[in-house]
Chains A and B, each alone.
Chain A
């Protein structure tokens, strides 16, 4: 694909990165982006992003791996699908954001804004793996323990009120499904490792 330079970036286009993105379901649609900016206009968190969704699409097409994976944008995406449903070229932008998060996590790209989101994703996955279901109490506890943010204290009032009304489970119920889920995950990882 032609490199669409929209500035003099230092990044070197990375065709392997581009291939990986294009290979995801719906990935080839990136080529159809007309840079209209509708996605950025629809995005509720764009003001907190260092590159807008439109810019991310441009960088992806140009193969600017580091610029995309170092951005906070992918972590500021709340997966609300506003961009996705409005894009005139029907590009599944939210899925691109997911895919980019996956690559950034896998390859250890560490945007400071991403720290908490990365931990939450990881804890969540661990939680599901070990319990079959997601236990909100453990998730929050582990999340606060692993981030060490004592803004956690801010949540004490919320936590106490939930405990009082019996809305946080203290003893996680282990879903019987857990052995199934573990097997499915193991098999899925086996297969993923064999993907080109």
Chain B
């Protein structure tokens, strides 16, 4: 059992509840113990960065400071399931390490709340932990269902691999592809795997969002994918909820289920789809579920 400091982020209690449910169902059996940061706050996301970068990093760093303080050995691995949270927290760590002035400014702001960040946190995405920290034999011993009839498109999104980080290549990553194969599914070639999901454009620029999301859905549809698999609440939300608009833009119909990777893990482990809250998504995954034996 490996213990991690867990930063769930705002979406996991709301729009991304199925993600939270499928994490709860799969993490412990795979030896991943997630301990939520006590009384965490919003990471600030990209919207806050447009406001002021020192302020944005200061807010994000409150979480890092608490994680550091509560970690047993003074250094903490903070795990985030949301790619936007991951990118913001990871950027905060790296930018502060590179820029002593920023480091001091942030700590000055944190001191107002009696906190200090020493610079000993490593931020990781939950997908990274599932892929790299779970021994293959353990994972294989938990797989009870056969997914070989299921064709999946691995959608990394932009923020898990960018800015450049240790997880995988920034443009053409392959680890998620390999992981889905390891789970027993067929993986389709998905060249748009790191293209942007349109982020907050679904609210600010819906027409542009429809175009961008449509490109992602079309690529999956053209390659006969039964589902697109994501590792980010915002990607899941956009791709799941904007299929009608995307279809209108591209003059075709889209009806592709968008699953979280933890839901696919759960399905392979034989966990009932209801416990993974797969039926809570907008697009039904019934056709895919029928292919699992």
Residues on the B chain within 8 Å of A131, using CB: 42
B65 to chain A, nearest CB (A): 10
Q: Please give me the residue from chain A that is nearest to B194 by CB atom.
A: A82
Residues on the A chain within 8 Å of B112, using CB: 183-184, 186-187
Which residues in window 154-169 of B have CB below 8 A to A?
A: 158-159, 162-164
Contact (Cβ within 8 A) A191 B54: yes
9-residue interface stretch from A4-12, A32-40, A61-69, A154-162: A154-162
Bitwise, A165-196 to B at CB < 8 A (1) or not (0) is 11111000101111111011111110110000
In the complex, whether A31 has a CB less than 8 A from a CB of chain B is no
Contact (Cβ within 8 A) A116 B53: no
CA distance A175 to B42 in the complex (A): 9
A160 to chain B, nearest CB (A): 11
In the complex, whether B55 has a CB less than 8 A from a CB of chain A is yes
Bitwise, B261-293 to A at CB < 8 A (1) or not (0) is 000000000000000010010100000000000
CA distance A102 to B54 in the complex (A): 11
Which has the most chain A C-beta neighbours within 10 Å: B42, B195, B205? B42
B173 to chain A, nearest CB (A): 12
Count A interface residues, CB 8 Å.
69
**Given A175-B39, A175-B41 in contact, is the A166-B102 Cβ separation under 8 Å?**
no
Contact (Cβ within 8 A) B58 A134: no
Residues on the B chain within 8 Å of A105, using CB: 50-51
Contact (Cβ within 8 A) A102 B108: no
Residues on the B chain within 8 Å of A128, using CB: 41-42, 44, 48, 59
CA distance A105 to B254 in the complex (A): 37
Contact (Cβ within 8 A) B200 A99: no
In the complex, whether B222 has a CB less than 8 A from a CB of chain A is no
A82: contacting residue among B51, B108, B158, B208, CB under 8 A: B158
CA distance A123 to B72 in the complex (A): 37
A151: contacting residue among B41, B58, B163, B206, CB under 8 A: B206
Q: Please give me the residue from chain B that is nearest to A97 by CB atom.
A: B50
9-residue interface stretch from A13-21, A52-60, A73-81: A73-81
**Given A78-B199, A167-B280, A184-B109 in contact, is the A121-B47 Cβ separation under 8 Å?**
yes
B14: contacting residue among A81, A125, A136, CB under 8 A: A136
Which residues in window 130-163 of A have CB below 8 A to B?
A: 131-137, 140, 143, 151, 154, 158, 161-162
**Given A78-B199, A167-B280 in contact, is the A133-B50 Cβ separation under 8 Å?**
no
**Given A99-B53, A120-B203, A136-B11 in contact, is the A180-B42 Cβ separation under 8 Å?**
no
Contact (Cβ within 8 A) A167 B53: no
In the complex, whether B77 has a CB less than 8 A from a CB of chain A is no
Contact (Cβ within 8 A) B41 A162: no
Residues on the A chain within 8 Å of B280, using CB: 165, 167
A residues apposed to B, CB below 8 Å: 24-25, 44-45, 48, 75-76, 78-82, 84-86, 92, 94-95, 98-99, 101-102, 105, 113, 116-117, 120-122, 124-125, 127-128, 131-137, 140, 143, 151, 154, 158, 161-162, 165-169, 173, 175-181, 183-189, 191-192
B residues apposed to A, CB below 8 Å: 10-11, 13-18, 39-42, 44-55, 58-59, 62, 95, 98-99, 101-102, 105, 108-113, 115, 158-159, 162-164, 170-171, 195-196, 198-201, 203-206, 208, 212, 241, 245, 277, 280, 282
Show 30 A/B contacts (Cβ-Cβ < 8 Å), sorted by A: A45-B196, A48-B205, A48-B208, A79-B49, A80-B162, A81-B163, A82-B162, A84-B163, A85-B163, A92-B163, A98-B50, A105-B50, A117-B50, A117-B204, A122-B51, A124-B47, A125-B48, A128-B59, A134-B42, A135-B10, A162-B15, A167-B14, A169-B13, A177-B62, A187-B58, A187-B108, A187-B112, A188-B105, A188-B109, A191-B105
